[in-house]
Structure 1
Amino acid sequence: MRALARKGKSAMVRLYRGYNRRKKRDAPPPSIRRVRILLLHANGMGGTIRTVFNLASYLAEEHDVEIVSVLKEADAPFFPIDPRVKFRFLDDRIDPGLDPVRALLSKLPSRLIPKEESAYHRFNLWTDLKLARFIRSLDTGVLMATRPGLNLALAQLAKPGVITIGQEHVALRTQAEPIQELIKWRYRRLDALVTLTKADLADYRETLPKQPRKLVRIPNAVPPMSGEVSKLDAKVAVAVGRMTRIKGFHRLITAWETVAAAHPDWKLRIFGAGPQEENLAKQIVEAGLEDKVELPGPTTDVGAELEKSSIYVLSSRHEGFPMTILEAMAKGLAIVSFNSPHGPKEMIKNGVDGLLVKPRTNANLAAAVMRVIEDEQLRRDLAARALETAHKYDPDVVGKKWDALLEELLARRDGSWAAARQSKEPAEAPSAREQPSAQEQSPAQEQPAAQEQSPAQR
């Protein structure tokens, strides 16, 4: 029976590959005019959503851009969006209608998204169907995904005529082992994989046996914000983020007990919402910090709140590339952050444009905050240099990297990239170091890996 099952799976693989080869022959010419970006829930809150909106706005200058949200769980976007950017929702959970097929499939677990994906519980068989239909409906253009589950689905299902880009907002090393195993073999099918940090880029280069045709680091850009640069005269420290355990706000509140005892005239404001909000509010009461720590809820105007603060504190256990640090830098705040190789460590030069603290050490976090409070000159020096650092992440600077990537991916598809490289090569044969890598060969040259599985298993 097992041998028969293996033969059946092998036949499915051959049929699937043959279908894709036929689609490739009939596909329209490659194009980057239309760019579609897959998000989990575009109307929600979070750093990934905000950075995607920011990128979409930049690309809309030259491209037809559409944000495709798997879920619709709110009537309107939480963050402002460029009117030139189109929206599409695959699963409207506000007004689901009376479709009996949908009602049935929505009760069944997802088979497309790996169980180890952190957002697995948000998917079901209905979202699988809608997502697969959307991906398979595209013959050309650019399709970008923004989280592991969506990247894996994109790599598995996209037709050959579509230029595919996976964007990672979470470090590879923090992914569950089964996710990392799928990444090893599926991500090679992407045209490009974009990481936010140099550390994550190095991890992917080391981990992937066969890499995508383009593996590159492009950081997030500073989003537009209202207001002016902070005057640093407010006795306020601020933190922003979704209220989950990974953000470490419980550690920040514990650290603030020490800060408040030494500096009772300073306040901490934590903006955001999430499953830990009630626990954090209870912790504040139990610590007697009701008039020292505030939970104002989420804000749509981060710039205004940062302008009214002097210190930004990041207490996350780990981060990919925290937008809140960039925003705080752009507003000229002094920054204190737990250290992490995949984000804060690359963004902050310790003692120059911020202070880095050993992760998960509440006492050290409190000591660093008090150091910035007590040394006004240090606070102003850190803030001034942070403002200089933020200029490296201006939207135009980062946007040009995306322009270059899209142009290169198009050139790789239409053959002009290989021709340009050959024209630059010396007459003598290239050295082994200069030989094109496996991921730079044409799709026809690539050989399927021994680990290749059927579409249902991949």
Structure 2
Amino acid sequence: MRGAVRRGALWLLRRLNGRRARRAPAPDTGTVRIVLQHAYGMGGTIRTVLNLAAYLARERDVEIVSVVRTAEEPFFPMPPGVRVSFLDDRTRPRGRLARMLSRFPSLLVPEQENVYHALTLWTDLRLVAFLRSMRTGVVISTRPGFNLVTALFAPPGVLTVGQEHVALDVHSPEIRRLIKRRYGRLDAFVTLTDADLRQYARTLRADPPGRLLRIPNALPHLAGDISPLEEKVVIAIGRLVHAKGFDRLVRAWAHVAAAHPDWVLRIYGGGTAKAETKLRTRIEDAGLADRVFLMGSSPEIGVELAKSSIYVVSSRYEGFGMTILEAMSKGVPVVSFDCPHGPREIITDEHDGLLVRTKKAQDLAEAVCRLIEDRRLRGTLGGNAVRTAARYDLDAVGARWDALLADLAGDASPPA
């Protein structure tokens, strides 16, 4: 029965799109809508999307469309000239229909998607209504669930750009199957790393999107000076989730603390109360309560980085590694596991940081100890890191988005 309903809905959608296509205006890239899960939340994807929106708003009408709202105020300041709208504002009283449909899970976003638990049938309806209301312009979606919905429901005349912030092989087989089936409908799909670009090219070779290219995240402006690298402080940043590998970092720090008890580790980032309790218990059980500190989230992470001497990445995987660039911009050398995919595309081993080729906590500890013990090496790597970060300047990365949008409008050849 559900299959028959789905086939009927797709037949009706094709008929509606055929009618729209006959009246569709010329492509317009002066209006850009960016679909984001939670614009008022905190996290790397939100920060980089706000950064992109700020650049595009210099010459375009830009609106961030937040699928949900669960906070009264934004964690990060909203860019000037960028509007924010909410499809499902959960901070305000909602009508009867919204309350009723919110009791049911999403039917459009795969349950294997990380945000599935936060979406409902009401958010499905609101997202589809938003997409179908567009007549022209560009819509940029920022995660697989929204890319899949956009690819299916965006009407003719609307230019669609999918964006990815984690590696393809992190996704479940079901999501990869849907990606293979639907991403060919997108006008463009953008990855953050060359490694991921190659994977998507192989996966989508039978039915590729209109353009498939890599554009890295741009480095936002951060408060704080270049670090003098004198403080006995190592920093890690990230959500308190399994992917960030803070369990491995605590194990590594046990070795560091034994050799250098006067150095401390500060972990910045938010998470659930359960995740924080679990990590805090791990720290206490390791006897590191006075050496490892959970600092919570900070909107001024640049200031904190400027007061550190080493930045450490213990992740099991990274979509790009925005915090690596942020640390580099403050002249802080990075020690990172060589995890897929971002770190090795940003860090040049022994030039602006150290890559740990194994997955062993002790090897990560030894690399951190090496920088603790060699002030001259810290300074050399930190100086080179500043120059590496400069290549990801907002103007340089933004120009690549300009080139893509010009290409989509038919004004230029595809960007390199």
Compute the TM-score of the two structures, normalised by the length of structure 1. 0.87
1:393 counterpart SS class: coil
1:204-258 Cα deviation digits (max 9, x unpaired): 1111121111101000011110111100111100011111111111111111111
Partners of 2:404 and 2:213 in 1: how far apart?
Answer: 9
Aligned residue in 1 for 2:56: 59
| Corresponding residue SS for 2:336 | strand
Is 1:70 matched up with 2:53?
A: no
- 1:115 counterpart (111, 114, 125): 111
Residues 1:11 and 1:81: Cα distance change in structure 2 (over 3 Å): closer
Instruction: Give the structure 1 partner of residue 176 of structure 2.
Output: 180
Aligned to 2:23: 26
Distance, in Å, in 2 between the alignment partners of 1:16 and 1:245 is 40
Letter in 2 for 1:42: A
Q: Partners in 2 of 1:408 and 1:100 — Cα distance?
A: 44
Matched with 1:222 is 219
Q: Which residue number in structure 2 is paired with residue 388 of structure 1?
A: 387
Residue matched to 2:39:
42
Aligned to 2:349: 350
- The change in CA–CA distance for 1:229 and 1:89 in structure 2 (over 3 A counts) is same
Match of 1:128 among 124, 129, 138: 124
Deviations 1:157-203 (Å, cap 9, x if unpaired)?
00011000000001111110010011011000100000000000000
Offset, 1:358:
3.0
For the pair shown, which has the larger CA radius of gyration, 1 or 2? 1
Q: Would you say how many aligned residue pairs link Structure 1 and Structure 2?
A: 411
Note if 1:367 corresponds to 2:366. Answer: yes
Give the 3 Å change call, closer, same or farther, for CA 329–9 of structure 1 in structure 2. closer
What amino acid sits opposite 1:285 in the alignment? E
Instruction: Rate the CA distance shift 1:278–1:9 in 2: closer, same or farther, 3 A.
Output: closer
CA distance in 1, matches of 2:296, 2:9: 51
Q: Which amino acid aligns with 1:296?
A: M
- Where 1:365 maps in the other structure, the secondary structure is helix
* Match of residue 269 from structure 1: 266
SS in 1 for 2:25: coil
Deviations 1:355-382 (A, max 9, x none): 1113531111111100111111111111
- In structure 2, stretches of 5+ residues that fail to align are none
The CA distance in 2 between the partners of 1:96 and 1:356, in whole Å, is 50
Shift of 1:272: 1.0
Q: Deviations over 1:334-354 (max 9, x none)?
A: 110011231001111111111
- Measured after TM superposition, the shift of residue 13 of structure 1 is 3.7
Aligned residue in 1 for 2:313:
314
Please state how far the C-alpha of 1:386 moved relative to its aligned partner.
0.9
Tell me the residue number matched to 2:407: 408
1:160 and 2:156 correspond: yes
**Once superposed, what is the RMSD of the aligned Cα atoms?**
1.6
Once residues 291 and 115 of structure 1 are traced to their aligned partners in structure 2, the CA distance between those partners, rounded to angstroms, is 40
Between the aligned partners of 1:190 and 1:96, the Cα distance in structure 2 is: 35
Tell me the residue number matched to 1:92. 89
Supply the distance in 2 between the matched residues of 1:286 and 1:319 (Cα, whole angstroms).
28
Answer yes or no: is the 8 Å Cα contact 1:317–1:359 preserved in 2: no
Work out the CA distance in 1 between the residues paired with 2:8 and 2:122: 26
Residue number in structure 1 paired with 2:134 = 138
Q: Give the aligned residue type for 1:124.
A: T
Q: In structure 2, what is the equivalent of residue 444 of structure 1?
A: none
Partner secondary structure for residue 149 of structure 1: helix
Calculate percent identity across the aligned residue pairs.
54
Does the 8 Å contact 1:35/1:144 carry over to 2? yes
How does the TM-score come out when normalised to structure 2?
A: 0.96
Shift of 1:26: 1.3
- Match of 1:332, SS? coil
Aligned: 1:286 with 2:285: yes
Partner of 2:185: 189
1:17 positional shift? 1.6
- Checking the alignment, whether the CA contact within 8 Å between 2:316 and 2:340 is kept in structure 1 is no
SS at match of 1:233: coil
Equivalent residue number for residue 333 of structure 1: 332
CA-to-aligned-CA distance 1:297-355 (integer Å, 9 cap, x gap)? 11010110000000000111100011100100101001100112310011111111111
Contact 1:190/1:213 (CA < 8 Å) preserved in 2? yes
- Please state how far the C-alpha of 1:15 moved relative to its aligned partner: 3.3
Instruction: Report the Cα distance in structure 2 between the residues aligned to 1:93 and 1:18, rounded to whole angstroms.
Output: 34
* 2:14 corresponds to: 17
Moved over 4 A (4+): 8-12
Give the distance between the partners of 1:129 and 1:13, measured in 2 at CA: 16
